[in-house]
Amino acid sequence: MPMNDIHPESSIILDRRQLITGAAAFGLSATFGAMPAMAQGAPKKGGTLRMGVEGGSASDSFDPRTYADSVMINISLMLWNNLVEVADNGDATGELFENWEVKPGAADWTFNIRKGITFASGKTLDADDVIYSINMHRGETKSPAKALLADIKEIKKISPTQIQILMTNGNLDLPYNLSDYHIIVVPNGTTDFSKPDGTGAYLLEEFQAGVRATFKRKPGNYWKPNRGNFDRVELRYIGDAAARTQALVTGQVDVINRVDPKTAGLLAKSKGIKLSRTPGAGNRFAFVAHTDKSPFSNPDLMMALKFGIDRKKIVDNVFSGYASIGNDHTVGAKMKYYDPKQKLHAYDPDKAKFFFKKANIAGPVELQVSEGAFSGATDSGQVFQESLSKAGIQLDLKRVSGDGYWDNVWLKQPFCAVYWGNRPTIDNQLTSTFKANTTWNDTHFNNPEFEKLLVAARVELDQPKRAQMYARCQELISENAGMVCFAVQDYIDAYNTKLGGLTVSGRYDLADDRIAEKGWFI
Amino acid sequence: MAKLILNRFFLGVLTLFAVSVLIFVCTEILPGDVASAVLGQGATPEALAVFRKELGYDIPSYMRYWNWLVGVLHGDLGIALTNKRVIVDEVLPRLGNTMFLAGYAALIAIPVAVGLGVFSAINEGKISDKLANILSLIAISFPEFFIAYLLIIFLSVNVDWFPSLSTVFKGMPFSERVYQTTLPAITLTLLVAAHMLRMTRSSVLSVMSTPYIEMAFLKGAKRGRVITRHALPNAAAPIITVIALNLAYLVVGVVVIEAVFVYPGLGQLMVDAVSKRDVPVIQACGLVFAMVFVLLNTVADILVILVNPRLRHKR
């Protein structure tokens, strides 16, 4: 289900791996000129970074339990730090945790806290701060991170710089779960978040929710070498995609997020502007059917629907090519343990016809769509309708109001549009959508083999074996679940070429929401 | 006279009360609720229950209306559900911004529109009259965001005279603020001027056919003088009304312009609040908008009474 994060990308851009492959193939010098601002030597200090960001509103607050979208995540990571950072290659690396050890069974963890880190107030970071910060998201709380930490049984302080976490069910992904953007580290006992006291690179100057926020660099050396390079950062909320684009073109901001895929190609041609594309990290767009109800309980009908949707056409036309083709599960191609070898349900009207006939269903199938589900849902539904009609299958599109869509339609109607956000781990991605009897199992998927694998994979220390288990999970969903996931959106940022350090993380846009910390002016 | 004015004010207050009921009822029936809108992906049933309790959604709605009304009468618009800020503190700076932009636009629009309207009336049928008519029709026919984008392309992207973003903030120097808001002010001027211009022109012209104007001509006055000294004061009533309506539009109807220019006005606050189902903020914005509307209309009514002695007495 919905996460407020959304959007696109471009063809000009590249992630770092593609870039390196390209450089190797054509010779470094040939590619260097066209290279995005990613590896231009050592970072330099200075300058004011001006960001134009969508994904916030006048109701934003600093309380980490209310973060839901890009603006507050970016702001938060300027002022505070997480415990764990996910590196550009997808590995969980230490941030305020220096490192950790796990016992077999993945239920007993020891985390070492980085020494010599101080908050802006001068207080030294210790285990109590860390424990308090994690506990904000446990127990009676409305924190969205609560579910990620639900398996934690106990957190013990071993020393001022070491804690132990015991879990009811082992889970090797605990460090990933702790990298969640809600889990920032605040001083022990903090209840008033409006005066941020953090270990991050910047200090807050001014904050007006829904308008802008400004920051200055914290005096002295930031504890992360080569990070926190700007003298000042100014972040403006720009909700309108056209306004954001103009702001970048007219030089009023240096970087923007969520470029409209329809104009991304044009924007890339502007002088001094580059795009940065984060593929496989955006929202997963799908139509979901309740497979415990007729007619969707008929597996042949589901196969007909899966083979009868022209995914490529939707990606090209509805998302202007800034998306990758989905294969009926929510695991993105950049996610660790994604299985690139799984069978793809490519568009095949003949097969669709065959399965539909076999299903022996009378009458049309009804699909409910709304722009309230995601932007492009109606158009995607129309392409679906058209591509199904080539297989002789009639799809009735019912357009419903976007207002209250998540309350009135999603989870209630037998076949409707949905998007799922990118989750920190494959386990989380699969658990939240497909585990039997969970609130958001929007296809009512219930497969004993999958249930068993999902739990076993959480504690499987043998990497190849774990990968195999997750591959099988993806296959089981793709073949049996009631989800027609046809596209995974890319994020597109655009930035001034004077800006360096805009790495592509594969997780979130704006350099994993850390552009203010990672970037610099060349 | 004083009684008449008091009467108008009383009616205004009554209207506001009715509006407050309407606003409350309408926000009550908005689909979806704040808890699920705020929590988004994290909205587990458990978290929802905790949040709803926190919001006081367990008391009946007429009680909540009463509490709200009492608060409003004491100048307390409540606390935002989403970020727990005092709503008055959120609304006032935004209202200030909105008023600033509206005032700026009005400052350009009213003299230009009324002046051009009179000018058109003086030159009725001549090429300048037709030109003013055609241009104003064009301006009024385009959607507002289109005019805004055209201005941005020409004045911001092509020649770089004005910024395309009008993010104003506290502590911004006045001159900087004026410069930043020039483009939206021009856009708004184009939107409302046509309406006022045409009304000025037509009401002046309708007065022109009355006997006393004929008399003025007969005694030898020039056309320009007849219009400004004799016709205009008597044509003032409809002009005042249309100006008031357009001023109200400048305050309550500029959400699209605020979005395009990223201007932190009250409309944007209300849109944000609606998307998060932050009901007290929606109610506060709605009420402020209603107040502006009612106030402007009341003032216009009173002004019309003042400039037209005939309205002061019952027939």
Query: Distance, in angstroms, between B174 CA and closest chain A CA?
Result: 18
**How would you write the pLDDT of chain A (522 residues) with one tens digit per residue?**
433 333 333 333 333 333 333 333 333 333 333 334 344 568 899 999 999 999 888 889 999 998 888 999 999 999 999 999 998 888 899 999 999 999 999 999 999 999 999 999 999 999 999 999 999 999 888 788 888 898 999 999 999 999 999 999 899 999 999 999 999 999 999 999 989 999 999 999 999 988 999 999 999 899 999 999 999 999 999 988 888 998 999 899 999 999 988 889 889 898 899 999 888 888 899 999 999 988 999 999 999 999 999 999 999 999 999 999 999 999 988 888 999 999 889 999 999 999 999 999 888 999 999 988 888 999 999 999 999 999 999 999 999 988 778 878 998 999 999 999 888 789 989 988 999 888 789 999 999 999 999 999 999 989 999 999 999 999 999 999 999 999 999 989 999 999 988 888 778 889 999 999 999 998
Enter the tokens of residue A393. 């299958």
The residue whose two tokens read 């935004």 is B94
> In Å, how far is A249's CA from the nearest CA of chain B?
7
User: Residue B163 is nearest to which of A58, A210, A250, comparing CB atoms?
Assistant: A250
pLDDT at A475: 95
How far does B256 lie from chain A, in Å, by closest CA?
10
Token pair, residue A300, equals: 């042949």
Contact B42 A142 (CB under 8 A): yes
> What pLDDT score does B43 carry?
64
Residues of chain B in contact with residue A239, where contact means CB-CB under 8 angstroms, are 259, 262
**3-class SS shares of chain B: helix, strand, coil, % to 5:** 80, 0, 20
| d(CA A372, nearest CA chain B) in Å | 11
Q: By the 8 A CB rule, do B138 and B197 touch?
A: no
**pLDDT for residue B31:** 61
Nearest CA in chain A to B155: A250
8 Å CB contact of B80 and A206: no
- Residues in B closer than 8 angstroms to A401, CB to CB, are 31
Question: Which of A158-167, A269-278, B195-204, B305-314 has the largest mean confidence?
Answer: A158-167
Q: Is A12 on the interface with B (CB under 8 A)?
A: no
The reported pLDDT for the residue numbered B38 is 62
Highest mean pLDDT among A152-161, B39-48, B160-169, B208-217: A152-161
Q: What is the pLDDT of residue B173?
A: 87
A437 touching chain B per CB within 8 A: no
CA–CA gap between residue A136 and residue A148 (Å, rounded): 13
Site of tokens 């684009």: A245
Which residues in chain A are closer than 8 Å to B276, comparing Cβ atoms? 57, 59
What is chain B's mean pLDDT, rounded?
A: 84
pLDDT of residue A31: 31
Residues of A in contact with B273 (CB under 8 A): 58-59
Distance CA A52, CA B93 (A): 22
DSSP assignment of B223-279: HHHIIIIIIHHHHHHHHHHHHHHHHHHHHHS-HHHHHHHT---HHHHHHHHHHTT-H
Dist CA B160 CA B177 (whole Å): 17
Give the separation between CA B9 and CA A338, rounded to whole angstroms: 69
Is A375 in the B-facing interface, judged by CB distances under 8 Å? no
Q: Would the pLDDT of B230 be above 90? A: no
CA dist A466 and A456 (Å) reads 9
A357 Cα to chain B: minimum distance (Å): 38
Cβ within 8 Å, pair A66-B82: yes
Query: Which pLDDT score, from 0 to 100, does residue A190 have?
Result: 93
What pLDDT does B231 receive? 82
Please, are residues B251 and B292 in contact by the beta-carbon 8 Å criterion? Answer: yes
d(CA A135, CA A185) in angstroms, rounded, equals: 11
Is there a contact between A243 and B260 if contact means CB atoms under 8 Å apart?
A: yes
Q: Which residues contact A93 (CB under 8 A, 6 or more apart)?
A: A84, A85, A86, A87
CB contact under 8 A, A210 and B276: no
How many beta-carbon contacts under 8 Å exist across A and B? Answer: 134
Is B35's pLDDT higher than 70?
no
A210–B275 CB contact, under 8 Å: no
Q: Which two tokens stand for residue B185?
A: 């002010």
List the beta strands (DSSP E) in A146-298. 152-159, 162-167, 202-208, 212-217, 232-237, 255-256, 273-278, 284-289
Would you give the DSSP letter of residue A210? T
